[in-house]
Amino acid sequence: MTLKAIVIGLMATSVLAGSAIAQDQIKIGVSIPAATHGFMGGLNWHAAEAEKRLEAANPNIDLIIVTADGPADQASDLEDLVSVHGIQALVVLPFESEPLTEPVRAVKDSGAFITVVDRGLTDPSIQDVYVSGNNTEMGKVSAEYMKTRLGEGDNIVILRGIPTVLDTERFDAFMAEIEGSGINVLDNKFANWNRDDGFEVMQDFLSRFPDIDGVWAQDDDITLGVVEAVKAAGRDKELFIVGGAGMKEIVKGVMDGDELVPVDVLYPPAQIATAMDVTVAHFVSNGPVRGSYILGSPLITQENAAQFYFPDSPF
Amino acid sequence: MSVSAHETGKPGRSFRIDLKTAGPLVALIALCIIGYSLNPAFLSEGNIANILTRSAFIGIIAVGATFVITAGGIDLSVGSMAAFIAGVMIIIMNSAVEAFGVSIWTVLLGCGSSLILGIGAGFINGFLTTKGKIEAFIVTLGTMGIYRSLVTYFADGGTLSLNSSAREIYRPIYYDSILRIPIPVWVFIAVAIIGWVLMNRTAFGRYCMAIGSNEHVARYSAIKVDRVKTATYILQGLCVSLATIIYVPRLGSASSATGVLWELEAIAAVIIGGTMLKGGFGRVGGTVIGALILTAIGNILNLTEIISNYLNGAVQGVIIIAAVYLQRGSLRAGKRKAAE
């Protein structure tokens, strides 16, 4: 009997001690896709930078970053964050909207504060905070720039990403803005946000159309492939290329006054840092943070390029 | 054609092989006619040079895969291996530039390390398959994941880019031509000829077919099965490293997106060309045509807008199946007629 009492007593104290520590330390889980391509590489880097900065500034905040290779993997990550780490808040960039809506809801039901980044869930009522780039604005800003450089009867080609909602939003906004300007869109093809595909699709556009005045590549990885194809064909004097995202090599080129890629349109991988800042602010700030934060997609030009240039980022 | 087969009095053999060669070729010619009718630019000199140069990567890798598959194996790691070799080449060349400055030796050092890595990676696949007694599918599935992760790790999730001054020296390997034929195409031609000789005119080629047909019988026939099988994987690794040597100067970069699905394209090129997936019979010439067919499909889809972008994959699927049916289908018809 006495032994049993001691054991129970010990268990009770350890549980109490455990919860005391948990109260001191606020644990925030950050679940993002693994760095499988340039943009996600940049996003991972910015997440790690934000973790260092926020933990140094707030000793009671513990950020736990986990990366997933697919939606199923990410769902398991979320379960682990709740059961193993006992997180009080979650910052999540869902791999795909549909399959992750229920897993995130389960985290919400455990009482955690939820911040969703970039790709929205099918049920927006789950999230406390939503942080995202603006694909519609990105397409619109790109088209607006095209209109400043080109006019009636000029020809452009478009290289798209992967068939997804995000890509369609960019494309539709671009086409809506370009309509009525007299600029001909010769054709659009998918280049899968990939340099090699960008190179090959552009080569084929070049052999198909003798007169191209502008290229909307809408992504900087594709842009790098397009640049090589155009240079190899010796047609770099007759056209210009508009990319997107804000890759450091492209931003550097814009800063240095590259004529082939004169501008870039921002779709910031650093948005994960914004989301982490807002989530931490929920615990440390006296201001309210709940709501949606839609980040702008400004045009990066030679004048303002310096503020978008992160030489240490892998992207 | 069946009449001539009866006349020669050799029903079957030479006749069947003829059709096997003809199948993929007919598909390629049909594809060219379709391409030209959709857009005459298809047969312009520039576009043909583009197709041939592009098909060199998959083609060279597929020649190696022909040996692996003929000997009854499979190599799923080639795409990741290419990305990995490209990444390491770039790292080595960049550090060589920092240490010794830029010269032609920088590029030669890069190419040399590529060959060593390719042969080494092929040996690992072969050794684990033969001495480790693990199925080739599992070994190469494992190495596929390992190489892909390693290149992502080296690139920090981003992209490895070759030093721009080294790139200036290296660039002509992809972009220049000799006798109006791009250098990558010359490499492809050389690899194809050597592969053809190796498969059809040497004991090694016969051993590959024997092992692929029946490994036990081959073993009893005093063929050093493990050694030959390992050699096929080394050959595959060598082909991957050659393909990488001509790939790197194209964009001067490597990332985790490099070479994705090349393994499936290479295997598809081999099978379209008439090699049996279960092993025992290999056609290097067919493989070359298979690689050209795959590249031509993508090119034609880019040259026309009558097919919805969303259906590209479906069109590729239909053409691949049709090309193989043409070859296997006429083979069946040939057998029936020969049996009459």
Q: Which of B50, B298, B309 sits opposite A207 (nearest CB)?
A: B50
**Residue B259: its H or E element:** none
Is the pLDDT at A157 greater than 60? The verdict is yes
* Cβ–Cβ contact A70 with B under 8 A: no
Summarize pLDDT for A108-122 with one digit per residue, the tens: 988 999 999 988 888
Is the pLDDT at B4 greater than 50? The verdict is no
Q: So what's the pLDDT on residue B83? A: 95
Q: Which of A41, A199, A200 sits opposite B158 (nearest CB)?
A: A41
Structure-token match 């010439």, residue found:
B285
Is the pLDDT at B338 greater than 70? The verdict is no
The A residues from 143 to 162 touching B (CB cutoff 8 Å) are 160
Is the pLDDT at B198 greater than 90? The verdict is yes
* Cβ–Cβ contact B46 with A under 8 A: yes
Summarize pLDDT for A283-299 with one digit per residue, the tens: 988 888 899 999 888 99
Partners of A41 on chain B (C-beta within 8 Å) are 155-159, 255
Distance CA(B318)–CA(A249), nearest Å, equals 40
Cα A137 off chain centre by: 14
Contact B251 A38 (CB under 8 A): no
Contact B152 A228 (CB under 8 A): no
Q: Which of B157, B260, B303 sits opposite A45 (nearest CB)?
A: B157
Summarize pLDDT for B85-122 with one digit per residue, the tens: 999 999 999 999 988 888 889 999 999 999 999 999 99
> Is A68 in contact with A27 (CB distance < 8 Å)?
no
Give the sign of the dihedral formed by CA B152, CA B154, CA B157, CA B161: negative
Give the sign of the dihedral formed by CA B332, CA B333, CA B336, CA B337: negative
Q: A interface mutation test: which of B154, B247, B302 has the most A CBs within 10 A?
A: B302
Average pLDDT over residues B210-216: 92
Distance CA(B243)–CA(B262), nearest Å, equals 11
Among B269, B283, B273, which Cα is nearest to B212's? B283
Question: Please, what is the angle between helix B104-130 and helix B225-251, to 10°?
Answer: 150
pLDDT band of B36, cuts 50, 70, 90: very high
Summarize pLDDT for A43-56 with one digit per residue, the tens: 898 999 999 999 99
Cα B140 off chain centre by: 16
Task: Say how many C-beta atoms besides its own lie within 10 A of residue A1's C-beta.
Answer: 5
Q: Which of A160, A188, A208 sits opposite B41 (nearest CB)?
A: A208
Distance CA(A15)–CA(A19), nearest Å, equals 6
- Give one DSSP letter per residue of B164-224, joined into a string: HHHHHHHTHHHH-EETTEEHHHHHHHHHHHHHHHHHHHSHHHHHHHHHHH-HHHHHHTT--
List Cβ neighbours of A6 (8 Å cut-off, separation of 6 or more). Answer: none
Contact B156 A45 (CB under 8 A): yes
> Is B74 in contact with B142 (CB distance < 8 Å)?
no
CB pairs < 8 Å spanning A and B: 96
Contact A204 B158 (CB under 8 A): no
Pairing of strands A129-132, A291-294: parallel
Q: Determine the distance in angstroms separating the CA of A189 from the nearest CA of chain B, rounded to an integer.
A: 6
B312, closest residue in chain A (CA to CA): A190
- Give one DSSP letter per residue of B87-156, joined into a string: HHHHHHHHHHHHHH--SHHHHHHHHHHHHHHHHHHHHHHHHHHHTS---HHHHHHHHHHHHHHHHHHHTT
Residue B70, token pair as written in the block: 């003929």
Could you give all domains of chain A from N- to C-terminal order, each with its CATH number? 26-133+269-284 (3.40.50.2300), 135-265 (3.40.50.2300)
Task: Say how many C-beta atoms besides its own lie within 10 A of residue A284's C-beta.
Answer: 12
Distance CA(B272)–CA(B110), nearest Å, equals 33
Q: So what's the pLDDT on residue B302? A: 87
> Is B247 in contact with B78 (CB distance < 8 Å)?
no
Q: So what's the pLDDT on residue A16? A: 46
- CA dist B197 → A8, A242, B201 (Å): 80, 49, 5
The residue type at B183: I
Partners of B302 on chain A (C-beta within 8 Å) are 189, 200-201, 204-205, 208
Contact B157 A163 (CB under 8 A): no
Q: So what's the pLDDT on residue B13? A: 47
pLDDT band of B305, cuts 50, 70, 90: confident
How is chain B split into domains, by residue range? Answer: 2-339
Partners of A232 on chain B (C-beta within 8 Å) are 175
**Residue A269: its H or E element:** none
Average pLDDT over residues A113-134: 89
> Is A273 in contact with A50 (CB distance < 8 Å)?
yes
* Cβ–Cβ contact A267 with B under 8 A: no
pLDDT mean across residues, chain A: 87
Pairing of strands A264-265, A299-300: antiparallel
B307, closest residue in chain A (CA to CA): A189
> Is B287 in contact with B273 (CB distance < 8 Å)?
yes
Q: Which of B47, B152, B175 sits opposite A35 (nearest CB)?
A: B152
Q: So what's the pLDDT on residue A23? A: 52
CATH fold of B2-339 reads: ABC transporter involved in vitamin B12 uptake, BtuC (1.10.3470)
* Cβ–Cβ contact B309 with A under 8 A: yes
Distance CA(A23)–CA(A88), nearest Å, equals 10
Q: So what's the pLDDT on residue A9? A: 52
Partners of A314 on chain B (C-beta within 8 Å) are 155-159
Among A142, A112, A263, A196, which Cα is nearest to B295's? A196
B235-256 burial code (b ≥16 CB/10 A, e <16):
bbbbbbbbbbbbbbbbbbbbbb
B125-140 burial code (b ≥16 CB/10 A, e <16):
bbbbbbeeeeebeebb
Is the pLDDT at B328 greater than 90? The verdict is no
User: Higher model confidence: residue B206 or residue A16?
Assistant: B206
The B residues from 225 to 284 touching A (CB cutoff 8 Å) are 250-251, 253, 255-258, 260
> Is A225 in contact with A194 (CB distance < 8 Å)?
yes
Is the pLDDT at B10 greater than 50? The verdict is no
Residue A244, token pair as written in the block: 């997107």
- CA dist B23 → B70, B286, B325 (Å): 19, 9, 8
